[in-house]
């Protein structure tokens, strides 16, 4: 979702909270209710859970059955966070650890029968504690003819489009039959059967996206004489891709040396060597997101407006769950309803719980989410934040506050602070990295929209690490709008795509 989020300064307006089940009617907006504690179908509060709950009150969504309870004083936020629970799954009478991967196709938009949630469960003082759909149906009020396993919401429009774009191109690898992907996510019935290996397809999109650079560089090598003209043209092409003068110059210096040393006279061979050099240059940015840490891995997601934060969170939720890590989301943009709704929608698709709040302090939502994530033994807690420009000082201060408050909920957190960068941003990305890094100490980058930009060379500029820009690692790259369109950053693959190489 793009669009300027000129989020106002946080105002700690007491706000009612909501609990939304993903099987609530699609598009339903969490309705603010009078402050109540709705005990989700999840867990019996454990001591840890009880102590963890900072929220004052919560409401269910659709909240017809919310049980009232005495609001509890929130240490951080006077405004309770909303809990948008993943599935209208039966309650888990058991502890938080009992998270089970989403039951088959949980999302039912047609069955408004919200959850077996609340009614029968006694009000508790630990509102933030809830568990995702456990396997065991609860003996709780679940008479509602809920959840026929439902088709997940909308199909991914982007997916079919990139697939169709891919069809005409040569698929080098043997075509695997529509793979019965062991996905933790409910299968989307409309998901198109892959006609080529997933790897080939995202590489194709990346290559297509970077094609302006790729094509121009590729044409330079055809029947070319390996001489100073070629080097000059290569250098220019790299600069045009936003690699930056320093990186381009340094790469070409190394290329000249290799060509001379190895007495290379073949243009194609020069291209291979350039790929190696670019890959080596980018290699320091390659870093795997460590999921083996003691959980939950609390991850802040930041960036300018429209960079792709929320979309990336949706994609990551799927990725983490596929890797056996239960996910909890926090809607840290408390001011823009559309931003929350977008996150809730991703929560629905992934069958994960979203903690949100209508108005109020984003830091409080983050606090609640971390507490809740700990109590429930989540694998990853992702905190979305409102888009902001580095020049909006008060909003950058707000980010710092979110970071500080997260640390109050878990003094080792946040474990990851990610900046999402739109791949089209060009050299301005460097300023963004510096400003966010200075403010909140980045641990990694997600570079999005590389399926549609000729500016992929920006990563070479990042890797060069000049002008006070720390070469922050790149965990993932976004190559489309679909839920699967996020890939780990691999320097060699990226270098190949940048040069328009097919393998």
303: contact with ligand GTP by CB under 6 A: yes
307: contact with ligand GTP by CB under 6 A: yes
How far is the C-alpha of 369 from the C-alpha of 398, rounded, in Å?
17
Residue 433 CB, nearest distance to ligand GTP (Å)? 15
The answer to whether 3 is a known ligand-binding residue is no
ω before 133 within 30° of 0 (cis)? no
Query: Phi/psi zone of residue 209: left (φ > 0), alpha (ψ -120 to 50 degrees), beta?
Result: alpha
5: contact with ligand GTP by CB under 6 A: yes
448: contact with ligand GTP by CB under 6 A: yes
In residues, how long is the chain? 503
Do residues 310 and 342 lie in contact, with contact meaning Cβ atoms separated by under 8 Å? yes
Binder among 409, 449, 464, 473 for ligand GTP (CB under 6 A) = 449
Binder among 22, 308, 332, 360 for ligand GTP (CB under 6 A) = 308
Please say which residue, 97 or 337, places its beta carbon nearer to ligand GTP: 337
Q: Which stretch binds ligand GTP (CB under 6 A): 94-102, 113-121, 215-223, 307-315?
A: 307-315
Token representation of residue 21: 């089940």
Binder among 52, 114, 339, 501 for ligand GTP (CB under 6 A) = 339
The answer to whether 304 is a known ligand-binding residue is yes
201: contact with ligand GTP by CB under 6 A: no
How far is the C-alpha of 142 from the C-alpha of 147, rounded, in Å?
11
302: contact with ligand GTP by CB under 6 A: no
Please say which residue, 163 or 307, places its beta carbon nearer to ligand GTP: 307
How far is the C-alpha of 84 from the C-alpha of 327, rounded, in Å?
13
Please say which residue, 116 or 209, places its beta carbon nearer to ligand GTP: 209
Residue 425 CB, nearest distance to ligand GTP (Å)? 12
Residues in the interface with ligand GTP (CB under 6 A) total 24
Burial class (CB in 10 A: 0-12, 13-18, 19+), 2: exposed
Do residues 358 and 292 lie in contact, with contact meaning Cβ atoms separated by under 8 Å? no
Q: Which stretch binds ligand GTP (CB under 6 A): 275-283, 301-309, 391-399, 409-417?
A: 301-309
Residue 223 CB, nearest distance to ligand GTP (Å)? 34
The answer to whether 303 is a known ligand-binding residue is yes
Binder among 309, 376, 403, 455 for ligand GTP (CB under 6 A) = 309
Residues 147-166 that bind ligand GTP (CB under 6 A): none
Residue 346 CB, nearest distance to ligand GTP (Å)? 9
Residue 115 CB, nearest distance to ligand GTP (Å)? 27
> How many CB atoms within 10 Å of residue 392?
16
How far is the C-alpha of 178 from the C-alpha of 186, rounded, in Å?
16
Binder among 33, 39, 77, 311 for ligand GTP (CB under 6 A) = 311
Q: Give the β-pairing of 416-422 and 297-303.
A: parallel
Do residues 418 and 399 lie in contact, with contact meaning Cβ atoms separated by under 8 Å? no
3-state secondary structure of 204: helix
Token representation of residue 250: 């340094």
The answer to whether 308 is a known ligand-binding residue is yes
Distance, first Cα to last Cα, the chain:
33
Q: Which stretch binds ligand GTP (CB under 6 A): 141-149, 221-229, 298-306, 491-499?
A: 298-306
Positive or negative CA dihedral for 321, 327, 331, 337?
positive
452: contact with ligand GTP by CB under 6 A: yes
191: contact with ligand GTP by CB under 6 A: no
Burial class (CB in 10 A: 0-12, 13-18, 19+), 345: buried
How far is the C-alpha of 78 from the C-alpha of 153, rounded, in Å?
34
> How many helices (H) and strands (E) in the chain?
14, 9
Q: Which stretch binds ligand GTP (CB under 6 A): 67-75, 147-155, 285-293, 476-484?
A: 476-484
How far is the C-alpha of 93 from the C-alpha of 456, rounded, in Å?
50
Site string for ligand GTP, 477-496 (x = CB under 6 A): -xxxx---x-----------
How far is the C-alpha of 315 from the C-alpha of 319, rounded, in Å?
6
The answer to whether 388 is a known ligand-binding residue is yes
Please say which residue, 165 or 408, places its beta carbon nearer to ligand GTP: 165
Please say which residue, 336 or 374, places its beta carbon nearer to ligand GTP: 336
387: contact with ligand GTP by CB under 6 A: yes
The answer to whether 465 is a known ligand-binding residue is no
Residue 470 CB, nearest distance to ligand GTP (Å)? 22
How far is the C-alpha of 171 from the C-alpha of 175, rounded, in Å?
8
3-state secondary structure of 328: strand
How far is the C-alpha of 255 from the C-alpha of 458, rounded, in Å?
19
Please say which residue, 92 or 331, places its beta carbon nearer to ligand GTP: 331
Binding-site ranges for ligand GTP (CB under 6 A): 1-3, 5, 303, 305-311, 339, 387, 420, 448-449, 451-452, 478-481, 485
- Known binding positions for GTP: 303-310, 384-388, 448-451
């Amino acid at each position: 979702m793009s669009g300027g989020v000129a989020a106002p300064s946080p105002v700690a307006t007491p706000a009612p909270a909501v609990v939304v089940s993903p099987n609530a009617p699609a598009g339903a907006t969490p309705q603010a209710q009078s402050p109540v504690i709705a005990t989700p179908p999840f867990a019996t509060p454990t001591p840890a859970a009880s102590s963890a709950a900072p929220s004052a009150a919560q409401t269910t969504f659709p909240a017809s059955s919310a049980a009232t309870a005495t609001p509890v004083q929130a240490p951080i936020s006077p405004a309770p966070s909303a809990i948008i629970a993943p599935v209208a799954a039966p309650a888990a009478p058991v502890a938080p650890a009992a998270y089970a991967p989403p039951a088959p196709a949980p999302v039912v938009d047609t069955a408004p029968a919200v959850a077996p949630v609340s009614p029968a469960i006694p009000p508790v003082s630990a509102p933030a504690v809830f568990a995702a759909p456990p396997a065991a149906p609860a003996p709780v009020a679940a008479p509602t003819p809920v959840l026929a396993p439902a088709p997940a919401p909308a199909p991914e429009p982007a997916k079919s489009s990139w697939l169709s774009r891919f069809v005409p191109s040569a698929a080098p690898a043997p075509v695997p039959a529509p793979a019965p992907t062991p996905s933790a996510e409910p299968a989307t019935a409309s998901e198109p059967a892959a006609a080529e290996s997933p790897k080939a397809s995202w590489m194709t999109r990346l290559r297509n996206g970077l094609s302006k650079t790729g094509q121009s560089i590729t044409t330079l090598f055809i029947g070319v004489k390996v001489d100073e003209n070629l080097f000059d043209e290569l250098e220019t092409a790299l600069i045009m891709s936003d690699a930056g003068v320093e990186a381009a110059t340094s790469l070409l210096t190394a290329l000249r040396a290799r060509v001379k040393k190895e007495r290379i006279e073949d243009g194609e061979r020069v291209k291979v060597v350039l790929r190696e050099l670019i890959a080596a240059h980018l290699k320091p940015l390659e870093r795997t997101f460590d999921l083996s840490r003691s959980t939950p891995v609390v991850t802040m997601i930041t960036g300018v407006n429209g960079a792709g934060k929320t979309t990336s969170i949706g994609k990551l939720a799927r990725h983490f769950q596929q890797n056996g890590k239960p996910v909890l989301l926090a809607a840290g943009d408390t001011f823009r309803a559309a931003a929350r709704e977008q996150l809730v929608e991703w929560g629905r698709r992934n069958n994960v719980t979203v903690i949100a709040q209508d108005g109020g302090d984003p830091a409080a939502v983050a606090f609640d989410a971390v507490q809740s994530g700990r109590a429930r033994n989540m694998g990853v807690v992702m905190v979305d934040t409102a888009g902001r420009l580095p020049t909006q000082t008060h909003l950058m201060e707000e980010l710092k506050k979110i970071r500080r408050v997260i640390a109050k909920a878990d003094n080792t957190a946040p474990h990851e602070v990610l900046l999402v960068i739109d791949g089209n941003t060009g050299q301005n990305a460097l300023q963004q990295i510096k400003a966010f890094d200075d403010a909140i100490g980045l641990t990694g980058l997600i570079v999005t929209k590389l399926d549609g930009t000729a500016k992929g060379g920006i990563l070479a500029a990042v890797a060069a690490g000049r002008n006070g820009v720390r070469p922050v690692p790149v965990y993932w790259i976004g190559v489309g709008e679909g839920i699967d369109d996020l890939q780990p950053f691999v320097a060699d693959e990226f270098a190949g795509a940048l040069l328009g190489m097919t393998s």
